[in-house]
């Protein structure tokens, strides 16, 4: 039986250009090529989970415009269930302006959230059964914080679903929101902002992660880009190095990691094996340009894991 993952989050149309270097303030850089495609942390994580074999519901909100129509087409083509995707007349579909450094694959992103701010508590009340009948739920911070908080309240201390909070993009979050998540997956910058602890070394990562564990979170997984991931629970603390891949574009790598993690945990893998699986998913995603379009399929991940273990 396929496991059910429900993603409550954002959809953005990504407008992407590569550039020989990322511009400084006031600078114009000739770049290209230009690519337009599906993005948004929530939708990327949903598409990733679906490509890896889960049954996926996406709870989000798009505008009543061309980009909103494209969103529906993309998500349906990727086998993501959009029965509860809201369409609003009030504002535009979310947009992300993305620049990718041709040499390093690093990016700069500005998001105009538009319709994503229409993912309301009212909408969640209507999909309560879908959420409660999921194996895993995935949340990020490109929708209103009060909606994220409401969802975490709904599932807090229930056997199912397991909740994963990816606190991205970095925003100040109250302790009483974070403490309700089962698993929290910040990157270095997000960890620094939510704990107030300066992150320079792995010791700092461990210290800040332990702070989140002291709130009551069951597991903290810090994504460290090319340096891998750091896992802290009450019982273990482990650094998992990344897999060496050819980096083309890092956009969406964190989303790939969270999608992979959700799928592995939903299938009953232990935390460390799930993080290794998620690291392969993230690693494969950076070898292609784009966000949702770079998410790997299950066969690619299994093939990589098989070749790696030989």
Contact residues: ligand RIB, CB under 6 A: 10, 12, 14, 39-41, 44, 96, 109, 111, 142, 251-252, 254-255, 291
- Helical packing angle, 271-285 and 253-266, nearest 10°: 150
Minimum CB distance to ligand RIB, residue 291 (Å): 3
Choice between 186 and 252, CB closer to ligand RIB? 252
Choice between 111 and 263, CB closer to ligand RIB? 111
Residue 170 tokens read as 């970095």
Rg of the chain in Å (alpha carbons): 18
Minimum CB distance to ligand RIB, residue 19 (Å): 17
* From 83, 135, 255, 270, active-site residue: 255
Choice between 142 and 211, CB closer to ligand RIB? 142
Residue 85 tokens read as 């995707």
Residues in the chain, how many?
A: 310
Q: How far is CA 79 from the centre of its chain?
A: 18
Choice between 186 and 254, CB closer to ligand RIB? 254
Instruction: List the one residue out of 229, 190, 228, 236 whose CA is nearest residue 210.
Output: 236
Minimum CB distance to ligand RIB, residue 56 (Å): 17
Minimum CB distance to ligand RIB, residue 213 (Å): 25
Burial class (CB in 10 A: 0-12, 13-18, 19+), 239: middle
Q: For residues 123 and 268, give the distance between their C-alpha atoms in angstroms, rounded to a whole number.
A: 30
Q: Is residue 135 flagged as an active site residue?
A: no
CB 251 within 8 A of CB 214: no
Residues annotated catalytic, as ranges: 255
């Amino acid at each position: 039986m396929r496991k059910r993952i429900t993603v409550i989050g954002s959809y953005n149309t990504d407008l992407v250009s590569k550039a020989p270097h990322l511009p400084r303030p006031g600078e114009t850089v000739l770049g290209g090529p230009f690519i337009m495609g599906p993005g948004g942390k929530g939708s990327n994580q949903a598409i990733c989970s679906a490509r890896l074999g889960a049954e996926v519901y996406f709870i989000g909100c798009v505008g009543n415009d061309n980009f909103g129509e494209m969103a529906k087409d993309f998500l349906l083509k990727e086998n993501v269930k959009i029965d509860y995707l809201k369409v609003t007349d009030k504002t535009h579909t979310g947009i992300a302006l993305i620049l990718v450094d041709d040499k390093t694959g690093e990016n700069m992103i500005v998001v105009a959230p538009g319709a994503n701010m229409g993912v309301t508590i009212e909408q969640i009340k209507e999909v309560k059964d879908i959420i409660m009948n999921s194996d895993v739920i995935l949340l990020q911070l490109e929708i209103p914080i009060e909606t994220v908080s409401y969802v975490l309240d709904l599932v807090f201390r229930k056997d199912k679903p397991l909740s994963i909070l990816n606190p991205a993009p970095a925003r100040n979050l109250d302790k009483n929101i974070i403490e309700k998540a089962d698993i929290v997956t910040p990157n270095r910058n997000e960890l620094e902002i939510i704990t107030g602890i300066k992150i320079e070394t792995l010791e700092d990562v461990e210290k800040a992660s332990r702070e989140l564990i002291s709130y009551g979170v069951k597991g903290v997984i810090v994504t460290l880009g090319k340096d891998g991931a750091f896992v802290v629970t009450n019982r273990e603390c482990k650094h998992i190095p990344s897999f060496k891949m050819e980096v083309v574009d890092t956009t969406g790598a964190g989303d790939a990691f969270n999608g992979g993690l959700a799928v592995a945990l939903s299938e009953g893998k232990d935390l460390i094996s799930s993080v290794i699986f998620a690291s392969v998913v993230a690693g494969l995603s950076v070898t292609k340009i784009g966000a949702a379009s770079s998410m790997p399929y299950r066969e690619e991940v299994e093939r990589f894991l098989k070749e790696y273990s030989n």
